[in-house]
Structure 1
Amino acid sequence: MLFDRNQRFTELADKVNARKFIAQQIGEKYVVPTLGIYPSFDQIDLDALPQQFVIKCSHDSASAIICTDKDKFDIASAREKISFYLSRNMYVTTRERHYKNIVPRIICEKYLDVFAHADRDITPELFRVHCFAGQPQFIEVDFTDARGEESVNIYDPAWRRQEVCVGYIERRYPNNLDTRIRRPARLDEMLALSRQLSADVDYCRMDWFLVGDDIYFSEFTFTPCAGRMRFFPASVDLRFGELWQQRIQP
């Protein structure tokens, strides 16, 4: 990835363009419904938004604001946060080249309640499918329980939990060992879609939401945690790294 200048990574890392790509490749039903796209916060018609919604930027990570009750929405705080992220270029801070030339925009989208009528302790919040040369090799599954505690499990494509922990920069996430966790009914479809979308890419992580029986695409990620993501034990970190066979362009 250090030597790859593939313009397609920029196109797919752009969350606005990615929505169009997903709709064209696999269908509109997999796209989180869009409420609006804006160049600045003050151009958002907040009165037109539903009681629950999500606001995020098109060109970065960690900018999402989740509103579950518009009556309690802190507009000033949201404006300050989004305006800050709009002014930030991730290439400058993390050297992730594919973010460098993305046009910053604001996306307002439907709020997805993945925990509706479900037990938070055993319900995945997000599925991150890691694909190498078009093949899903492992699934990183995020949980946030009723107490707000976060955990991450790693599964193989057959949904067998691996004895692996994930670390992001300074933080290491525990596993969710609850024996009530079940294989998602639409896992095979999620893996097939990931396989299709990553067919011509050396490495890509595709993130998905599962809301009831509905699958929604979240985003493409080409350099998780700016390349600083870690797996424990170290032997697993090495094994996963060996899966990546780069086609370096001259």
Structure 2
Amino acid sequence: MIYSIKNKVRNLSHENKIINHFYLFANRVKIVSLSFLSDGIFAKMKYRENTGRRLRLENPLTFNEKLWWLKINNRDPLLTICSDKYKVRDYVRECGLGHILNTMYGVYDKADEIDFNKLPEKAFIKTNHGSAINVLFDRNKPFDIKKFTKKFNVALKQNYYLQSREWNYKNIEPKIIVEKVLEDGENNSLIDYRFLCFDGVVKLIFIDIETAAVDGTHNPYAKRNVYDKDFNYLDIKVGREQFDKSTITKPENFDKMIEYAQKLSEPFPFCRVDLYNLDGQIYFGEITFYPGGATQIIEPEEWEKKLGDWIDIFKEK
């Protein structure tokens, strides 16, 4: 019942700014009020609230259940480094892949520090310590600096760990990053190649489109298809609606993308490595350890168990 109501309210918040304002406010109040709960109790409440299902932490079997187990039990310091969208750049360089890093124009402790007069015509601005806090700066379009400053300074004060108990975000020092805008030459819309890696081996790929709105903010209506390692389409739905598979083709250097994803994912029992491919040039996006907060429903259901089987939570490194 709660799951159904929350889904309806969340969908309405995407369509109405007033409802969205109150939804975000209520969510912040809820997060603070639940901060005293243990990770285990919070996990079971969060999972049921978002999926309508019971979370089994004592004997995790499915993909999401094992991700929640890792959330609570895996305290590898490298998780924090690789979740930090600024410090992860050093990790990428250490892996010998510095050439796939996007150009960075600056990094700031406060939104007020950014001198927009010194930025190029276009720039992509995001925080390093959370999710979906980003915007596109375009000198040729209206840009409300006051509104931006207020929004990002508020975001810098928030600890994303409390949102979904992802420990890897807990100790990140908040910053704002300004980067070069990556655009597809044909339609200015990036294709996100998201490699699901299990003990350093790519098993599946999420291909997401329309992940950003025209202003660079998060698009809640992004679409996703799922492919195997050989770029064969799989009729699996994970968290997002599917799109017409005939609209994309396998990149020429797809094998090189797999090579890079596997190199970056080597130390982890599971992670998702996000890459872009523009005219053959591969760019690093980010590394994610708990996609969708480990609450995205996988259909058909047997794939939830199959992905879970690929995660060995007790394997010693």
How high is the TM-score relative to the length of structure 1? Answer: 0.89
Structure 2 partner of 1:220: 287
Structure 2 partner of 1:91: 161
Instruction: Give me the whole-angstrom Cα distance separating, in 1, the residues matched to 2:188 and 2:87.
Output: 34
Tell me: CA distance 1:65–1:243, structure 2 relative to 1, closer, same or farther (3 Å): same
Structure 1 partner of 2:186: 117
How far 1:131 sits from its partner (Å)?
A: 0.2
Structure 2 partner of 1:208: 275
Structure 2 partner of 1:170: none
Tell me: CA distance 1:214–1:76, structure 2 relative to 1, closer, same or farther (3 Å): same
Instruction: Give me the whole-angstrom Cα distance separating, in 1, the residues matched to 2:156 and 2:277.
Output: 28
Tell me: CA distance 1:189–1:45, structure 2 relative to 1, closer, same or farther (3 Å): same
Instruction: Give me the whole-angstrom Cα distance separating, in 1, the residues matched to 2:247 and 2:186.
Output: 16
Alignment of 1:91-170 (within 5 A): 91-113=161-183, 115-118=184-187, 125-144=191-210, 150-167=222-239
How high is the TM-score relative to the length of structure 2? Answer: 0.71
How far 1:243 sits from its partner (Å)?
A: 0.9
User: Where do 5+ consecutive residues of structure 1 fail to align?
Assistant: 168-172
What is the identity, as a one-letter code, of the residue corresponding to 1:243? W
> Is the contact between residue 251 and residue 280 of structure 2 (CA under 8 Å) also seen in structure 1?
no
How far 1:45 sits from its partner (Å)?
A: 1.6
Q: Secondary structure in 1 aligned to 2:234?
A: coil
Instruction: Give me the whole-angstrom Cα distance separating, in 2, the residues matched to 1:70 and 1:103.
Output: 32
- Answer with 1 or 2: which has the greater Rg: 2
- For 1:4-54, what per-residue CA distance to the aligned partner results, in whole angstroms no more than 9, with x for missing partners? 111110111111110121123233320010000010011112111011101
- Is 1:50 the counterpart of 2:116? The answer is no
How far 1:180 sits from its partner (Å)?
A: 4.2
Structure 2 partner of 1:185: 252
Alignment of 1:46-85 (within 5 A): 46-85=116-155
Query: In terms of mean alpha carbon deviation, does 185-194 or 146-155 score higher?
Result: 146-155
Tell me: CA distance 1:182–1:51, structure 2 relative to 1, closer, same or farther (3 Å): same
Higher relative strand content: 1
Instruction: Give me the whole-angstrom Cα distance separating, in 2, the residues matched to 1:93 and 1:160.
Output: 35
RMSD after superposition: 2.1
- Is 1:197 the counterpart of 2:264? The answer is yes
> Is the contact between residue 51 and residue 71 of structure 1 (CA under 8 Å) also seen in structure 2?
no
Instruction: Give me the whole-angstrom Cα distance separating, in 1, the residues matched to 2:288 and 2:272.
Output: 5
> Is the contact between residue 133 and residue 155 of structure 2 (CA under 8 Å) also seen in structure 1?
yes
Aligned residue pairs total 240
Instruction: Give me the whole-angstrom Cα distance separating, in 1, the residues matched to 2:225 and 2:185.
Output: 21
- For 1:123-142, what per-residue CA distance to the aligned partner results, in whole angstroms no more than 9, with x for missing partners? x6211101001100100001
State percent identity of aligned pairs: 28
User: Where do 5+ consecutive residues of structure 2 fail to align?
Assistant: 1-69
Q: Secondary structure in 2 aligned to 1:15?
A: coil
How far 1:211 sits from its partner (Å)?
A: 1.7
Q: Secondary structure in 1 aligned to 2:313?
A: coil
- For 1:176-209, what per-residue CA distance to the aligned partner results, in whole angstroms no more than 9, with x for missing partners? 2242421111211110011111112100111111
Query: In terms of mean alpha carbon deviation, does 174-183 or 158-167 score higher?
Result: 174-183
Structure 1 partner of 2:77: 7
How far 1:118 sits from its partner (Å)?
A: 4.8
Instruction: Give me the whole-angstrom Cα distance separating, in 1, the residues matched to 2:307 and 2:288.
Output: 16
How far 1:165 sits from its partner (Å)?
A: 0.7
